[in-house]
Chain A
Amino acid sequence: MGQRTKDRGITYSPSGNGLLVIILGLPVLAGVAGTILPAFGYLPALGGLQPTAAHLAELAGQPHILRSVLVALAAGLITTFAAVAIVGTFIAGFAGTPIFARVHHLVSPLLAVPHAAAAFALAFLIAPSGLLVRLVSPELTGFTRPPDWLLPNDPLALSMIAGLVTKEVPFLFLVTLAGLPQLPLRRARQLMAALGYGRLSGFLISLWPTLYRQIRLPVFAVLVYSVSVVDVAMILGPQLPATLPVRIAHWAADHDLKMRFLASAGALLQLFVVFAATAIWLALERIGKFALTFMTLAGTRLRRDQLLRATSGLAMAGCGVVIFSGLGALFIWSVAGLWPFPKTLPGAITAKIWLRVLPQITGPLLTTVGLALSASALALVIAVALLHRDGQGGNGASYKLLYLPLIVPEISFVFGLQILAISIGFTPAFPSVLAVHLLFVLPYVLLSLSAPWRELDPRFERIAAGLGKSPLRVLLTIRLPLLFRACLTAFAVGFSVSVSLYLPTVLVGAGRLTTVTTEAVALSAGGDRRVIGVYALVQAALPFLAFLVASLGPQLLFRNRRAMRI
């Protein structure tokens, strides 16, 4: 890869990037410091001035802490493994087929659904009093009262893993799609088929290593996210004990302010859990590589892989069906009057809640869209500038700083950031909230864009350079149009990240900037399914529109250039 970069002949000194990375990375590091220091007892506002290990000891003494850690770790690893396996198998089995396009259209809007909304949707379906049981009760089951099943919130975190997988599969799928056009898919398929390989094993041997390299960073983002997720875990995860991130969230929100020290100690532990998960994943990668080499050398053909392929197709489609029917259930709730169990449909339908909520949602809606548009546009420009200048596709060491917000658990990192923002005189207003959103949005945008950026065939630009075009011209007329789809996808990813940000918006905005998400989370504390339904649907609709633009845009813009469509 490094070889190719040099060949391109458009590498620049990284000093400008270094400055940008420092300006962007510094607040993150300061936020981390503001998080870590209290873990060792330093938080002057609460009288903590002496370094001490007492808070770490207190953390170790928390009841059932080991189980909280292990469940979070296992759920994160299983989620990531399942999501990678489903997406990998599906791409291997179906890329280039008509089914692929159909499932693509079903699954990609899912990326737009915020995690919390998807979790609510799943909970509404699978709960003993949920839609699925209502559909068959009492006729088939005989239940006139909901059965006493521990679902969701099962102790093994299976419902939480299911919820996370349905959300992470679309993310990985779309990131993979952005890189797919760079692969010699058709030729490799023909070659492997001629050699007698099944579709899956042929893809696995010929294309998977390159593809996986492209999506590796997003895979780690999925891993870190799943290990430290709070909102989904609160809705679907085990409660006794809750996973570590949820417990940190509770400690940070405890009425006893001294618990903030414990929360910070927990955040430090969470950091180690994330490291442990990463280490285990790296080991899994090694094992996978070894197995693949073994398979290649052994010449395993795996001709009969129909069942496996069908399963992956079903799993992909299942993600879409589950979330969409869950959203359907949310919609019914949003217009429901009294809806007692086991009635399949509510006794009365009313638009009361929508009529009451819509006038109030306009302000937050404008703020949300304003923040998301500015943050993702700014992030896209910065990402393009960074990638263009260093040409490596975001693999330089200094980039790692930008990915910090993905690695540090948001819950306590933001507390440190809040103190910093106030210290340097930021008043809680649009620009300061935008700055914080940018910190979270940029890594995702960079992540989505860097792989396709790196993998773009350099010969286009070499030809253009050979024709005497300036690097800027090459960027504007060759690279960006070729990466138009990837740019739009990155923009949409950034947009949806911004829309779903809760803690940074509330803490740095001091709650003065209300977005659809801050309203939704505040209202979800009230648990009224009708109001939650309205907000979750509005919240889901926003990024959905962004992704719609991202997927339709290239088709409209490049109507007359067939090769640039997918």
Chain B
Amino acid sequence: MIGRARQFITAAILTLGLAGEAAAIDLNDWNSVVAEAKGQTVYFNAWGGAENINAYIRWAGDEMKARYGVTVVHVKLDDTAKAVATVVAEKSAGKDHDGAVDLVWINGENFAAMKREGLLFSPDWATKLPNWIYVDHETKPTVLTDFTIVTEGLESPWGGAKLVFFYDSARTPTSELPNSAADLLKWAEANPGRFSYPQPPDFTGSSFLKQVLTELIHDKTKLQMPVDEATFAADAAPLFAYLDKLTRLLWREGKAYPQNYPDMKQKFADGELDIIFAFNPAEASAAIANGELPGSVRSFVFSGGTLGNTHFVAIPYNASAKAGALLFANFLLSPEAQLHKQDPKIWGDPTVLSLAKLPAAERQAFEALDLGVATLGPDQLGPALAEPHPDWMTRIEAEWTRRYGAAN
């Protein structure tokens, strides 16, 4: 019985699908996209772990409803891989149209995986969005390459990220702050049990490993290519020699780790950790404003540079409201939405736009933003180090688990 139902439904989907194909989206005629989007509901799959981000997405959704008659539903995920899993399940069930995910907040490995498995809406759509003209693809190369994987316009940039460290100036003297990974090891020797990083494969924790790897590897160009298995042991040796020394000096002597950034932030607030780090320079200011961290918290970076990257939105190949998703992605890229997002009182996420390309009024509004007491200005953030190829993350996480995955 189920088999017959399935046949029937497959047939129905195919019929509907063919009808859908007939009205293919013409990216060169933006007005037709706007017209088709009207009345659509966009299911935006995005991490739902932070109240301020959820509030921002709510605001953007309300604007979409008011301006274009597009309904945006925020599908709150605890992990972006869940949205990828949904698309995988749909593909394995042959559901190539009317998928449940219309737009997904994504970057790094999840993007690499979706691109590799052919799960993304595939024409080069991002660079054809009207607001693309403001995007800073000249000085921010991470807008075009997501962890070394060329985006090919398959995802639209949404916000910037930069690895930044936080400390409490009431507890830790500014003069003692480390200025490099090697320095940090010395600091940990002097302050055992007061530093840790989220347990890989947590994103922030793995980012710390990549930061150390990038600083210590002999030949940095190797990081821009997939791992060479023949030389991996030698390439990663400085990193693991470093970690062998650091682990005993960590919080709980490396027998347990914070589970993610917010967990690490809570341990910082509880006084268990003295130095933490985040991928958003405004995190500390937002936490101070929120009453989660004391007002004496400040930021610092390594003068040699810290990792920087961009996060994106992408459309699955079988999305049901592609026009609405395109329109929403374009709105998220607008100077107005980007300005609202960079406001630390709202979210504090750095913009992907180039201030130089903006009309004067918008540029001034960006420049007038008060970034908050604990946020470093764009000129103080130091150089951005490129993200290694996703392959490195996978290999290093596996090696980390093998070496440090069973504490005694």
**In this assembly, does A555 line the interface, its C-beta being within 8 Å of a C-beta of chain B?**
no
**Residue contact B292 to A338, C-beta cutoff 8 Å:** yes
Return chain B residues, CB-CB under 8 Å to A260: 85, 88
A425 and B252 in contact, given A63-B406, A340-B269, A415-B89 (Cβ under 8 angstroms): no
Return chain B residues, CB-CB under 8 Å to A418: 85-86, 89
**Residue contact B49 to A525, C-beta cutoff 8 Å:** yes
A-B contact count (CB 8 A): 194
**Residue contact B117 to A527, C-beta cutoff 8 Å:** no
**Residue contact A419 to B89, C-beta cutoff 8 Å:** yes
**Residue contact A527 to B294, C-beta cutoff 8 Å:** no
Taken together as a complex, chains A and B put the C-alpha atoms of A507 and B90 apart, in Å, by 11
A415 → chain B closest CB, angstroms? 7
Return chain A residues, CB-CB under 8 Å to B292: 338, 528, 530
**Residue contact A240 to B255, C-beta cutoff 8 Å:** yes
241-263 of chain B: CB within 8 A of chain A? 251-253, 255-257, 259-263
**In this assembly, does A565 line the interface, its C-beta being within 8 Å of a C-beta of chain B?**
no
**Residue contact B260 to A527, C-beta cutoff 8 Å:** yes
Taken together as a complex, chains A and B put the C-alpha atoms of A522 and B261 apart, in Å, by 14
Q: Could you mark each residue 72-86 of chain B with 1 if its beta carbon is under 8 Å from any beta carbon of chain A, else 0? A: 010111111111111
Return chain B residues, CB-CB under 8 Å to A514: 76
Interface-located stretch among B91-99, B153-161, B369-377: B91-99
A356 and B51 in contact, given A67-B406, A338-B292 (Cβ under 8 angstroms): yes
Taken together as a complex, chains A and B put the C-alpha atoms of A146 and B113 apart, in Å, by 41
**Residue contact A338 to B405, C-beta cutoff 8 Å:** no
Q: Which of B108, B259, B272, B402 is in CB contact (< 8 Å) with A255? A: B108
**In this assembly, does A128 line the interface, its C-beta being within 8 Å of a C-beta of chain B?**
yes
A255 and B81 in contact, given A337-B291, A510-B86, A522-B49 (Cβ under 8 angstroms): yes
Return chain B residues, CB-CB under 8 Å to A146: 270-272
**In this assembly, does A44 line the interface, its C-beta being within 8 Å of a C-beta of chain B?**
yes
Q: How many residues of B are counted as interface, with CB atoms below 8 angstroms from the partner's CB atoms?
A: 76
**In this assembly, does B100 line the interface, its C-beta being within 8 Å of a C-beta of chain A?**
yes
Return chain B residues, CB-CB under 8 Å to A530: 292
**Residue contact B193 to A148, C-beta cutoff 8 Å:** yes
**Residue contact A240 to B394, C-beta cutoff 8 Å:** no
**Residue contact A63 to B401, C-beta cutoff 8 Å:** yes
**Residue contact B294 to A63, C-beta cutoff 8 Å:** no
**Residue contact A256 to B109, C-beta cutoff 8 Å:** yes
> In the complex, which residue of chain B has the Cβ closest to the Cβ of A67?
B406
Taken together as a complex, chains A and B put the C-alpha atoms of A524 and B47 apart, in Å, by 11
Q: Could you mark each residue 399-441 of chain A with 1 if its beta carbon is under 8 Å from any beta carbon of chain B, else 0? A: 0000000000000000100110011110010000000000000
Taken together as a complex, chains A and B put the C-alpha atoms of A129 and B270 apart, in Å, by 6
Taken together as a complex, chains A and B put the C-alpha atoms of A356 and B402 apart, in Å, by 43
Taken together as a complex, chains A and B put the C-alpha atoms of A39 and B272 apart, in Å, by 41
**Residue contact A253 to B271, C-beta cutoff 8 Å:** no
Taken together as a complex, chains A and B put the C-alpha atoms of A240 and B117 apart, in Å, by 32
B148 → chain A closest CB, angstroms? 15
**In this assembly, does A280 line the interface, its C-beta being within 8 Å of a C-beta of chain B?**
no
**Residue contact A257 to B77, C-beta cutoff 8 Å:** no
**Residue contact B88 to A523, C-beta cutoff 8 Å:** no
**Residue contact B272 to A129, C-beta cutoff 8 Å:** yes
Q: Which of A250, A522, A531 is in CB contact (< 8 Å) with B201? A: A250
Return chain B residues, CB-CB under 8 Å to A150: 252, 255-256
Taken together as a complex, chains A and B put the C-alpha atoms of A428 and B102 apart, in Å, by 14
**Residue contact B77 to A511, C-beta cutoff 8 Å:** yes
Q: Which of A63, A67, A341, A424 is in CB contact (< 8 Å) with B6? A: A424
**Residue contact B75 to A257, C-beta cutoff 8 Å:** no
Taken together as a complex, chains A and B put the C-alpha atoms of A521 and B78 apart, in Å, by 7
Return chain B residues, CB-CB under 8 Å to A305: none
Q: How many residues of A are counted as interface, with CB atoms below 8 angstroms from the partner's CB atoms?
A: 66
Taken together as a complex, chains A and B put the C-alpha atoms of A511 and B44 apart, in Å, by 10
Q: Could you mark each residue 502-544 of chain A with 1 if its beta carbon is under 8 Å from any beta carbon of chain B, else 0? A: 0000110011101000110111111111110000000000000
> In the complex, which residue of chain A has the Cβ closest to the Cβ of B92?
A45
**In this assembly, does A183 line the interface, its C-beta being within 8 Å of a C-beta of chain B?**
no
Return chain A residues, CB-CB under 8 Å to B293: 338
**In this assembly, does B43 line the interface, its C-beta being within 8 Å of a C-beta of chain A?**
yes
Taken together as a complex, chains A and B put the C-alpha atoms of A232 and B112 apart, in Å, by 32
Taken together as a complex, chains A and B put the C-alpha atoms of A361 and B201 apart, in Å, by 31
Q: Could you mark each residue 357-382 of chain B with 1 if its beta carbon is under 8 Å from any beta carbon of chain A, else 0? A: 00000000000000000000000000
Taken together as a complex, chains A and B put the C-alpha atoms of A9 and B292 apart, in Å, by 67
**In this assembly, does A254 line the interface, its C-beta being within 8 Å of a C-beta of chain B?**
yes
Among A148, A418, A525, residue most surrounded by chain B Cβ atoms (within 10 Å): A525
**Residue contact B78 to A522, C-beta cutoff 8 Å:** yes
**In this assembly, does B199 line the interface, its C-beta being within 8 Å of a C-beta of chain A?**
yes
**Residue contact B78 to A44, C-beta cutoff 8 Å:** no
> In the complex, which residue of chain B has the Cβ closest to the Cβ of A519?
B76
B79 → chain A closest CB, angstroms? 5
Return chain A residues, CB-CB under 8 Å to B199: 239-240
**In this assembly, does A473 line the interface, its C-beta being within 8 Å of a C-beta of chain B?**
no
**In this assembly, does A105 line the interface, its C-beta being within 8 Å of a C-beta of chain B?**
no
Among B43, B78, B259, B404, residue most surrounded by chain A Cβ atoms (within 10 Å): B78
Return chain B residues, CB-CB under 8 Å to A63: 401-402, 405-406
Among A43, A256, A352, residue most surrounded by chain B Cβ atoms (within 10 Å): A256
Among B6, B92, B109, residue most surrounded by chain A Cβ atoms (within 10 Å): B92
**Residue contact B76 to A240, C-beta cutoff 8 Å:** no
**In this assembly, does B45 line the interface, its C-beta being within 8 Å of a C-beta of chain A?**
yes
B112 → chain A closest CB, angstroms? 8
Q: Could you mark each residue 391-408 of chain B with 1 if its beta carbon is under 8 Å from any beta carbon of chain A, else 0? A: 000100000011011111
A256 and B113 in contact, given A46-B88, A340-B294, A424-B6 (Cβ under 8 angstroms): yes
Q: Which of A129, A337, A511, A529 is in CB contact (< 8 Å) with B76? A: A511
Taken together as a complex, chains A and B put the C-alpha atoms of A336 and B290 apart, in Å, by 11
**In this assembly, does B22 line the interface, its C-beta being within 8 Å of a C-beta of chain A?**
no
**Residue contact A526 to B43, C-beta cutoff 8 Å:** no
**Residue contact B271 to A240, C-beta cutoff 8 Å:** no
A44 and B92 in contact, given A254-B81, A511-B77 (Cβ under 8 angstroms): yes
Taken together as a complex, chains A and B put the C-alpha atoms of A507 and B45 apart, in Å, by 12
A45 and B89 in contact, given A148-B251, A422-B95 (Cβ under 8 angstroms): yes
B392 → chain A closest CB, angstroms? 13
Return chain A residues, CB-CB under 8 Å to B230: none
Taken together as a complex, chains A and B put the C-alpha atoms of A531 and B2 apart, in Å, by 43
**Residue contact A525 to B407, C-beta cutoff 8 Å:** no
Return chain A residues, CB-CB under 8 Å to B43: 510-512
Q: Which of B6, B113, B251, B266 is in CB contact (< 8 Å) with A527? A: B266
Q: Which of A234, A255, A424 is in CB contact (< 8 Å) with B109? A: A255
**Residue contact B263 to A527, C-beta cutoff 8 Å:** yes
Return chain B residues, CB-CB under 8 Å to A256: 109, 113, 394
> In the complex, which residue of chain B has the Cβ closest to the Cβ of A47?
B117
470-518 of chain A: CB within 8 A of chain B? 506-507, 510-512, 514, 518
Q: Beyond the given A418-B89, A524-B49, A525-B78, could you list 19 further A-B residue pairs with CB under 8 A, ordered by the A residue number?
A: A46-B88, A63-B401, A129-B270, A146-B271, A148-B193, A250-B201, A255-B80, A338-B269, A340-B269, A341-B271, A422-B90, A423-B94, A507-B82, A511-B43, A511-B45, A511-B75, A525-B47, A527-B260, A528-B50
- A and B contact pairs by CB, cutoff 8 A, 10 listed: A43-B92, A63-B406, A64-B406, A129-B267, A257-B117, A260-B88, A424-B6, A510-B100, A510-B101, A528-B50
Task: Report A's interface with B, CB cutoff 8 A.
Answer: 26, 43-46, 63-64, 67, 128-129, 145-146, 148, 150, 153, 155, 234, 239-241, 250, 252-257, 260, 336-341, 348, 350, 352, 356-357, 415, 418-419, 422-425, 428, 506-507, 510-512, 514, 518-519, 521-531
